[in-house]
């Protein structure tokens, strides 16, 4: 099944087109210059994993991923005491080196995989394989397959289930790994790591709590597990994620108008709405089959992926129409080239979505935007 999906994807690379009148949408042609430019730069980059930096505030070891809760700050009334929350306001003094290293990985490996898919030149796949081995296989540099110490809060928690959202950047890495024609030992090692991590996400209390979250955290759990199960060939877990999208994510998160009320309540409602929509779109793209197309599926009342994208589209097209106050931080940086527009545009035959997707920035450089924009190489996805 996995090989058939890969062959279908490879054939689709040169054939993905959507015509409207005299216009033709050719994704490979659109992306080729951008992909090859990035890949040329990454050919000289060396792997950097979690073992390259550490924090004295981490309760974990050298191989454990560590991050700190974004919106938690020192208490002015008790500077040495537990941190206090300021929702939507990121603390610039938090430890972020592991997160940066993972985002870097998520930029390099997918770009090299996309270049390999377009050109079939081994140099791209071989360089990507070095990064994958460093992160997931080699004993000296590999990351432990858990997030026991992610999004810690000084004086309160050494780690939290919400930290699992940090590995959303491994979704496109996993997607890339399945399309690189890796050596059997490399592919086996990478699959073993992702299988172990998916098992941890399904059995540890942190993972279970994150799975059951009613907002973007629950969405990102499904998005990740679906991608990791696809790479490892876990059909049972894939089916579970598909069912969860249909029976938990959309029924519990999407309002009748297609909005996500839990995201609208935040101090950054625009950015969070886009983020949740993209995460759900990535899951739908991963889990859709010819027999079960999640882009066309909907609840009896009409809620589904199509309605969710339709709700946000006018506000991506013209942000001035957004009915809520601006986000407290990074408001001007959104939207970028959101993958939900591409996936929905192709699946639902909506040329206006594709036209907008082409106009938006595919390569944002603001760190916070990159952190909430986990799919950047669409040729790996359609």
Average pLDDT, the chain: 93
On whether the CB atoms of residues 316 and 353 are closer than 8 A, the answer is no
With a CB cutoff of 8 Å and minimum separation 6, the contacts of 355 are: none
Q: Mapping DSSP to helix (H, G, I), strand (E, B) and coil, where does residue 361 land?
A: coil
Residue with tokens 């060939």: 233
Tokens of 160: 């939290």
Give me the DSSP letters along 296-307: T-B-TTS-BHHH
Percentage, residues of the chain above pLDDT 70: 94
Distance of CA 2 to the CA centre of its chain: 21
Q: ∠350-217-98 over CA atoms, to 5°?
A: 105
Confidence bin at 6 (pLDDT 50/70/90): very low
**pLDDT(256) > 90:** yes
Confidence bin at 23 (pLDDT 50/70/90): low
Among residues 113, 177, 105, the alpha carbon closest in space to that of 374 is found at 105
Mean predicted confidence (pLDDT) in 42-61: 96
Alpha-carbon span 190 to 137, nearest angstrom: 6
Among residues 207, 59, 186, 71, the alpha carbon closest in space to that of 125 is found at 186
Alpha-carbon span 308 to 299, nearest angstrom: 12
- pLDDT (0 to 100) of residue 246: 98
| 3-class SS shares of the chain: helix, strand, coil, % to 5 | 55, 5, 35
Mean predicted confidence (pLDDT) in 243-250: 98
- pLDDT (0 to 100) of residue 86: 86
Cis peptide before 355 (omega within 30 of 0): no
Mean predicted confidence (pLDDT) in 239-257: 98
- pLDDT (0 to 100) of residue 21: 35
Confidence bin at 75 (pLDDT 50/70/90): confident
Which DSSP helix (H) or strand (E) runs through 31? helix 27-42
Phi, psi at residue 67, to the nearest 5°?
-145, 170
Percentage, residues of the chain above pLDDT 90: 83
Alpha-carbon span 158 to 240, nearest angstrom: 30
pTM check: above 0.85: yes
- pLDDT (0 to 100) of residue 11: 44
Among residues 135, 128, 242, 149, the alpha carbon closest in space to that of 200 is found at 149
Confidence bin at 88 (pLDDT 50/70/90): confident
Tokens of 296: 């066309």
Phi, psi at residue 35, to the nearest 5°?
-65, -50
On whether the CB atoms of residues 99 and 111 are closer than 8 A, the answer is no
Residue, of 237 and 5, whose pLDDT is higher: 237
Per-residue pLDDT reduced to its tens digit, 24-46: 789 999 999 999 999 999 999 99
- pLDDT (0 to 100) of residue 5: 52
Alpha-carbon span 51 to 294, nearest angstrom: 39
Per-residue pLDDT reduced to its tens digit, 307-362: 999 999 999 999 999 999 999 999 999 999 999 999 999 999 999 999 999 999 99
On whether the CB atoms of residues 69 and 162 are closer than 8 A, the answer is yes
Which DSSP helix (H) or strand (E) runs through 313? helix 305-317
Give me the DSSP letters along 201-265: HHHSHHHHHHHT-SSHHHHHHHHHHHHHHHHHT-HHHHHHHHHHIIIIIHHHH--TTS--HHHHT
Tokens of 161: 């289930």
Per-residue pLDDT reduced to its tens digit, 97-126: 999 999 999 999 999 999 999 999 999 999
- pLDDT (0 to 100) of residue 70: 76
**pLDDT(18) > 70:** no
Confidence bin at 68 (pLDDT 50/70/90): confident
With a CB cutoff of 8 Å and minimum separation 6, the contacts of 356 are: 313, 316, 317, 341
Per-residue pLDDT reduced to its tens digit, 176-193: 999 999 999 999 999 999
**pLDDT(12) > 50:** no
């Amino acid at each position: 099944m996995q090989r058939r999906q890969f062959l279908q994807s490879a054939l689709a690379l040169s054939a993905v087109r959507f015509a409207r009148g005299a216009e033709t949408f050719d994704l490979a042609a659109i992306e080729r210059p951008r992909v090859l430019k990035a890949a040329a730069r990454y050919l000289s980059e060396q792997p950097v994993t979690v073992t390259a930096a550490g924090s004295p505030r981490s309760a974990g070891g050298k191989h454990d991923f560590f991050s700190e809760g974004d919106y938690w700050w020192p208490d002015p009334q008790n500077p040495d005491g537990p941190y206090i929350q300021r929702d939507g306001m990121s603390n610039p003094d938090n430890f972020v080196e592991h997160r940066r290293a993972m985002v870097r990985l998520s930029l390099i490996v997918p770009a090299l995989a996309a270049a390999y898919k377009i050109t079939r030149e081994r140099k791209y796949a071989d360089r990507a394989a070095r990064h994958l081995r460093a992160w997931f296989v080699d004993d000296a540099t590999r990351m432990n397959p858990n997030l026991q110490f992610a999004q810690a809060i000084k004086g309160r928690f050494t780690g939290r289930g919400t930290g699992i959202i940090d590995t959303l950047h491994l979704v496109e890495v996993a997607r890339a790994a399945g399309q690189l024609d890796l050596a059997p030992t490399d592919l086996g090692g990478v699959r073993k790591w992702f299988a172990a991590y998916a098992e941890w996400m399904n059995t540890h209390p942190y993972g279970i709590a994150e799975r059951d979250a009613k907002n973007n955290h629950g969405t990102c759990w499904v998005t990740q597990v679906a991608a990791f199960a696809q790479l490892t060939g876990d059909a049972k877990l894939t089916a579970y994620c598909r069912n969860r999208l249909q029976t938990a994510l959309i029924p519990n998160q999407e309002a009748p108008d297609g909005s996500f009320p839990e995201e609208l309540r935040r101090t950054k409602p625009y950015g969070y709405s886009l983020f949740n929509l993209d995460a759900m779109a990535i899951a739908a793209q991963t889990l859709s089959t010819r027999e079960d197309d999640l882009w066309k599926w909907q609840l009896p009342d009409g809620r589904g992926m199509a309605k969710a994208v339709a709700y946000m589209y006018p506000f991506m097209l013209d942000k001035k129409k957004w009915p809520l106050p601006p986000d407290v931080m990074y408001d001007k940086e959104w939207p970028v080239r959101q993958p939900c527009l591409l996936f929905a545009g192709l699946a639902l035959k909506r040329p206006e979505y594709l036209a907008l997707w082409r106009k938006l920035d595919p390569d944002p450089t603001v760190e916070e935007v990159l952190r909430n924009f986990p799919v950047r190489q669409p040729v790996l996805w359609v």
